[in-house]
Every structure is written in structure tokens, then in C-alpha cells.
Structure 1
């Protein structure tokens, strides 16, 4: 066999090492060790805080906005209509909601393929609420070391007061955000007033308390468990990664071998040491408690906290920053990073396509609807005047938020006389049944049935909706 074409065989160890759970007093084991997140400042944390503040402010303020005399965003499930400023969506408009979810999914895929799991670290509600809860801990219980000491100390009045104040703030913030969240589905002003005066409906109270409990449990107690064990995104995100994806990565070639040294030690490389001084700050600031120096791990949420902590240490030591950074595998190996690559362009193309389809769906949407119901008692009847008569009920729905006048007409190959109202005015969201009759002369046609076309249009003729039906002649 040609030695140049020989395939190297890689030996795979068959030994499996079993890691036993840590034992604790009493014979049971803890499912996880508590993570005490250390506060850190830096560029990435400033961006994360500002983005979290902006989107949290939007979340809290949007339900209170008014538009045309009603709540600007109200997803009223009981009435089966979603008001989003001037747009009202009904169950028939499910396609629009489907497009919104598809756009969100492909935008997430595109961002992940380009910059890793930054959604999780910067905008995911679980991460945002967790960082807010940690902020309450820092303000009430102190720094990381102070919180660890407080938990290790025996219970006292001071410890109880700090713990109680922390949980009270957690519950209060959970209740506030839950009320606002439920306020997207029911009028938010009356909800607040009725909830605190004990006049809210049963389901409103149950919904608020349920989301309060979920928020308190997720951000206060579960935290990283949601990211590492429950959230499905952590499991399939690697399918979108490649060697050109920017992720939080430790430069092993530059950092190893790690070890402590003084700032004045300029000959550390001669001792076989790399730039990592093994301060463990990257571990202490990580909200999921991983060591980024162990390589890419699915628990990493790409929040950049370890980057800021490491850059601060490198600056103090007088070393170049970037030992931990957003970089690609190709870049670490000295190869050029391909930003515009088939996978990324494919996600972008699909994203643009679904955005265009969403825009076209909105543009072509007719804000009214008509259903035709024939008289079930008889296909036709002979009137007292000897005319052939067919009876219909036109169900007209105004899907807009405004009062609109509609004009009703019919088109056929022969002349048909219309008996009933030909113009109706409906309030926003109103549906009305309009009974009408069509009549013709007995000798107008020899056909047994005629194809006819009902038309409903706005009085200003901006849009028109056509629907086919049949006129039976009795021949």
C-alpha cells in the first residue's frame, strides 16, 4: 500500500472511569454544589447589563402603552384576538404567528452559527433574571467571599435577616414581573388594581402566582440547572457550531503551563510557564461554574464574564489581553477564519426568505372576512310574484380595530335582484350575520344552476373579497 495514502489509526481507550457522587453527612449526596458567582466588571459585562436593562425596561413598559384607546399589546386569549398596536390577529391569522416563530428560530440559528451561544448569555430571560437575583444577593449579603462565609456560619439573627431580605426581594421582583407578564394577556391596569384589592378572577390569581413561583424557583434556586439539564437549546447548539464559529475560548498554547508567579517575574517562560497565572477568577465569575480552560463545554452560555476577569488579570500582570476571548478554532490553530461560509449564508438566505414571506403575508392580509351560508331548508323557492328565489346568510367579520362600512354585491351571468341590505357598518372586531335573498325571472336561463360570486368591499374600495356560491334555478 502506498505510504502516502495510508490512513492513520487512532487508538480509542476502552477503559471507562466511573465518577461516584460526592457523599455528604447523612449518607445522601447533593445533586450539585452551590455556585457563588463573583462580581466582575468589563466590556462584555457592561454590554450585557445595558442590553438586559433596555429589554427589561421594554418588557415592563410595553403593556402600559395605549394605542387608539386600547392597550397597545394585548394578547387576549379568551376573546381569541391579539392586538399589536394597529394590527389585530385572529385565529384565522395563525400563519402570521407561525412566520414570527420561524423568523425567531432562524435568527437564533444564524446568530449561533456566527457568534455561538450569545443569546443565552445576553438576552435569555433565564440568564437575565438569574443575574438580577445575583445582584440582590450581592447588595444584601455582600461579595462572593462574604456570601460563602455567611452560609458557613451558624444561624443567627443577622444571618436570618440577610437571608430573609434576599428572599423577600426575590419574591417581590418575581411577583412584579409575573403581574406584568400576565398583563400581556389581560388588561394590565385592572389586573394590578384587582390583584392587590383581592378582586381579581380565579384564573388571573392562579396565573400570577404560578409564574411568580416559576420565576422565584428558576432564577433563585435552579439557575444553571435550567441551562445545563432542562433547556434543550444547550443540547443541540453544537449542531450549528463549526471551526469558524466565534465562541468563548481559552488559548491553551499561550496559557499553558499555568502557574502562579509575581508581577515582577519576567522570566516565567524560561521556567516553562504560560501566561495563565492560575488565579481561578474565570471559574469564580462563571454563572454555570465551569472552567473554560478545560475546552468548549455545552454549559458555557457565552456571557463573556471569564473574558473580562481574565483581561483584568492580564492587564494587572502586564501581559497582553485575549488569553480568553471570542475566537474561532481556526484562528487558534493559525488558520484564517471564514466568516462568509455556506452554513452561515444558508441560514441568512432562509432568514431573508421567511422575512419576505412574513412581510408579504402582512401586506396581502385582508382585514375583513365573509362566509356564505345557504338556506338549509330549501335549495330554492317560488316567490308570490312567480320569481325564483335563493336565500343566503352572509357572515361579515371586521378584523380591524376601527369602524368600517362594507358594500355587498353579487356578480352572475344573468341579472339577479338583491333583496336585503347592501351596505353594513361594523365596529372593530364585530361579526354580523346579514340575511339576503337573490331572485330572477323564471325564463332568464335554462341552466339548472348558476355560478355566482359574492363580493364584499370597503366603502372606499381599497380592498375587495370575493367568494363563490351557487344559485339554483329549479329547471
Structure 2
């Protein structure tokens, strides 16, 4: 009769399988192998337009302002042909919700393709890695260069790499600040010039603009040049909650263990089945190209950003060995187990439907959005109301916000269940983007007011554009009505 292993033996085996990681241990430098392929080309075609758009949008002028400008001092946010104000905060909130649900939808379907192809951290990191390959060569040359002593060649290669890194980081930092300060003013303000009075070199840029330019330049250099994969592993929260959105039909980078095992080297055109081997030749190219330094053959891991570089590397090896491609590929767990993936499933349909409905509602809100707002506050002084000449009077503070890009002359009217009228009223002319506050006194005959509290409606209408109108309600308070 076979002996059953004791509990102590089984627990010892389980402990032996546990991999302990010291979070405070210094990370070893990752040397990535340069690779070409289908997914690398996709990244180029998606990354370059994103980089170009990021760099060019602050320079593009629309109706006298940059295409995208978040003007914090003026509290105006220009996005293409639209201008948003703090009163439009709800639209911004909805836009963020739509972005989040879109990200959830894409993740349920294709896994972390955002991280692998369009995330700025990934795009800028791969850009810095490309510069590193240009100056220091591919993986083996980089390892050799780092091991050798300092020489003129090493100084020139390292110096050239870091110079270009700083230049890219500076352009990135300037562009980012250019979304908050007009970039032409920013750059001209950063150029030193001689003061006519003191003769000293000075710059006209605001100290805050200088600080944030230096800050984002330094953070870009640090994140893309040095931290790299550590941002994805330890700093980005998306890597942690991605498992909540994954299901058995989510497409992600997988290693087909049923086809690849058992691993082992072999000669070209040698039948692996005769040696009891799978298609994996254990070349470790999939590990050498990985920007986060994981072995995809160990299964799905939270560090994996689905960049597809290991797929390109493995396909290149399979082509050389004249094996079918797809040993490492984008696939689902269902496909690996059952041979097929369910693309239409309730969870994905629910996310997609929610995104479509929210986008439709958002576009509708933008179309019907009125570039005029009004806030009315009733005076809450010691006296809630005033009685003068048999009239009950309330005082209000009306704030009109002309969010239009043109000047308008506005007419103010009041209405309610009683014959209210305005005192000392004058028409208001506001410039484009102007916010104007005016105190108004509203009265009604005391004999006609038979309630203690009623609602009053203020209506603001442009005299040149009757469709440009806004309304706001506020209470009107009167004396207590004596019971008969």
C-alpha cells in the first residue's frame, strides 16, 4: 500500500513553490531585445499619431485661441470649437465616466491593450528605449557596454543617450504646460533677454510656469528613462484591478502550454516529437523583449501589459524553425481549453450598450447646451422682506455668466403667480466670457400677496439672439397671512 505524504511534507512542498519578493530590493536593469513584427507595427501606427496630436494641439489656433487650452486663471477651458466653464463641470464628470466605461469595455474584450499600445507611460518608455538602442545597440551590446570600464566611446554613447532623453523630456514638459499657458507665450517668456534698466538677463515667464515645466521635464525623464516598468508594476492602480474585468473569454497574451511543452533546444528541421519535446525551443526571446521583465510562459501575470512584443518575438522564432505561428498569441482561456472564444456575452454587451447610451446623451447635452447661465441668491439679511408704500419687497443678487464667444445685451424679466415687478432695472451688456453681478429689488402689492412664500422665476434673454436664454427660480418671502 502506497504511503500517503504527511501534512508536514505537503506544507513544505507548498512553501518551496512560493516565490518571495522583497519590495525594497533594488530592481535589476532590464535589457530589452530589439524586435520587429505585426504588433510592433501596430504600436507605431497608433503611437505616432498620438504623439503628433499631443505635440501639435497647443500650436493649432481656432477662433483666436489654442485648439486645447485649460485657462485656469480665466476659468475657461477651450477644446476645439467649444468653450467650457466651471458651470459645465457636470459635462467633464460625464466625460470621465464615459472614458472609464470605454476602458472597461475594451479591457473585457481585449485585455490591457490600452496599457500596451496607447498608455503615455508605455509610449514614452518605448521611445526612450528606441533612443537607447540607437546609441548603445541591441541587448547584448548594452550588457557588454555596461560591464566595460569607462572610456571615451562609453562616455559619448551614454552622454548622447541622456542628452536626447533630456531633450525629449523638455519638449514633453513644455508641451504639457502649453495646455495651461499659451505655448507661444510660454516659450517666448522662457527665452532670456537683457533688461533695459538693469542690464541683467531676465525671463518673462511666470515662476509657476517655470516650475511646472521643470517638474514635468524631470518626471518624464525619470519615469520613461529610469522607472519604466516599475511604474506599471508598483505605481499604476490599473494593473491591480484588471483581474476584476477579465473573464474566461477576454483576449490576452497567452502561452499555449499544450503545444509548447515540454521545452527544450533542438536542431533545425529536427522532429521535436521524436525527442518528446513541444514547439517551444526555450530560446527565452519572449523574456528578452518583455519591457516588464516577465516570462509569459509562467501564465497570466498582473505585470503583463499585453504589448504583444513576446508574440512578435515568438513568431519570428517559429518562422525560423518552420513551425506554425501562434505558440504565444492573443487568445482567451476558453480558446486554449475548448478551442473557441465567446465574443458576444452579457457582460461585454452591457458595457458596450452603456458606453453608446452615455456617448449619445453627452453629444445631446453638448448640442442643446446654452452658453448662458444665471445664479440667483435672495438676500438673507436680518430682514427677510421689506414693506414700503404697501408693497412687499425682496432683494436678490443675480449673477449672469455670458459663456458665449460674442458680446450680448441681456434683458431681465421676473414672473410668478403674482404681478411682480423689478425696481431700478437696467439692461445689461456683457462682453464675451464676462461674468456680471447685479443687485435687483422685486416687489408686489401687499394686498395681492396672500401667501407667506411663493416661487419667483428670473428669465435672462439676449436681445440679439432670443434663443439664448436662461432661467432660475428663487423664493419670494412675504409677511405671514392672517387667518380669517
TM-score normalised according to structure 2 size: 0.87
How far apart, in 1, do the equivalents of 2:139 and 2:286 lie? 14
Deviation sequence 1:346-369 (CA, Å, 0-9, x none) = 222332333234334434433222
Match of 1:241 in 2: 246
How far apart, in 2, do the equivalents of 1:337 and 1:131 lie? 31
Q: Shift of residue 407 of structure 1?
A: 2.0
**Aligned with 1:161 (options 156, 168, 172):** 156
Instruction: Establish whether residue 319 from structure 1 lines up as the match of residue 316 from structure 2.
Output: no
Instruction: Establish whether residue 77 from structure 1 lines up as the match of residue 72 from structure 2.
Output: yes
Aligned 8 A contact 1:87 1:400 in 2: no
Q: Shift of residue 181 of structure 1?
A: 0.5
Match of 1:255 in 2: 260
**Aligned with 2:122 (options 127, 132, 146):** 127
Match of 2:406 in 1: 402
SS at match of 1:264: coil
Q: Shift of residue 59 of structure 1?
A: 0.6
Aligned 8 A contact 2:68 2:80 in 1: yes
How far apart, in 2, do the equivalents of 1:245 and 1:473 lie? 65
Deviation sequence 1:335-390 (CA, Å, 0-9, x none) = 4311111221222233233323433443443322222344547523536xx76655
**Aligned with 1:87 (options 66, 72, 82):** 82
Change (3 A) 1:419 1:224: same
Instruction: Establish whether residue 462 from structure 1 lines up as the match of residue 467 from structure 2.
Output: yes
Q: Shift of residue 263 of structure 1?
A: 2.1
How far apart, in 2, do the equivalents of 1:19 and 1:297 lie? 14
How far apart, in 1, do the equivalents of 2:49 and 2:104 lie? 23
Q: Shift of residue 19 of structure 1?
A: 5.5
**Aligned with 2:210 (options 199, 205, 210):** 205
Match of 2:5 in 1: none
Change (3 A) 1:451 1:216: closer
Gaps of 5+ in 1: 1-10, 23-28
Aligned 8 A contact 1:420 1:435 in 2: no
Match of 2:296 in 1: 292
How far apart, in 2, do the equivalents of 1:94 and 1:334 lie? 48
Change (3 A) 1:472 1:219: closer
How far apart, in 1, do the equivalents of 2:414 and 2:455 lie? 11
How far apart, in 2, do the equivalents of 1:20 and 1:417 lie? 78
Match of 2:314 in 1: 310
Q: Shift of residue 30 of structure 1?
A: 5.6
Q: Shift of residue 225 of structure 1?
A: 0.7
**Aligned with 1:341 (options 340, 345, 359):** 345
How far apart, in 2, do the equivalents of 1:448 and 1:44 lie? 72
Q: Shift of residue 448 of structure 1?
A: 5.9
Deviation sequence 1:124-155 (CA, Å, 0-9, x none) = 11110100000111111112111111001111
Instruction: Establish whether residue 359 from structure 1 lines up as the match of residue 398 from structure 2.
Output: no
How far apart, in 2, do the equivalents of 1:76 and 1:336 lie? 51
Match of 1:226 in 2: 231
Change (3 A) 1:13 1:32: farther
- Within a 5 Å distance, the mapping from 1:184-195 to structure 2 comes to 184-195=179-190
Q: Shift of residue 412 of structure 1?
A: 3.5
Q: Shift of residue 227 of structure 1?
A: 1.0
Instruction: Establish whether residue 110 from structure 1 lines up as the match of residue 116 from structure 2.
Output: no
Instruction: Establish whether residue 174 from structure 1 lines up as the match of residue 169 from structure 2.
Output: yes
Change (3 A) 1:413 1:259: closer
SS at match of 2:57: helix
**Aligned with 1:49 (options 25, 44, 51):** 44
Q: Shift of residue 391 of structure 1?
A: 4.3
How far apart, in 2, do the equivalents of 1:20 and 1:419 lie? 78
SS at match of 2:11: coil
How far apart, in 2, do the equivalents of 1:57 and 1:317 lie? 39
Q: Shift of residue 286 of structure 1?
A: 0.9
Q: Shift of residue 280 of structure 1?
A: 1.6
How far apart, in 1, do the equivalents of 2:110 and 2:128 lie? 26
Aligned 8 A contact 1:449 1:473 in 2: yes
Moved more, 58-67 or 445-454: 445-454
Aligned 8 A contact 1:249 1:292 in 2: yes
Aligned-residue CA RMSD (Å): 2.6
How far apart, in 2, do the equivalents of 1:207 and 1:350 lie? 37
Match of 1:5 in 2: none
Moved more, 238-247 or 401-410: 401-410
SS at match of 2:98: helix
How far apart, in 1, do the equivalents of 2:267 and 2:254 lie? 25
Change (3 A) 1:290 1:173: same
Moved more, 452-461 or 105-114: 452-461
Match of 2:138 in 1: 143
Q: Shift of residue 13 of structure 1?
A: 4.5
Change (3 A) 1:244 1:465: same
TM-score normalised according to structure 1 size: 0.89
Aligned 8 A contact 2:409 2:427 in 1: yes
Change (3 A) 1:114 1:469: closer
SS at match of 2:243: helix
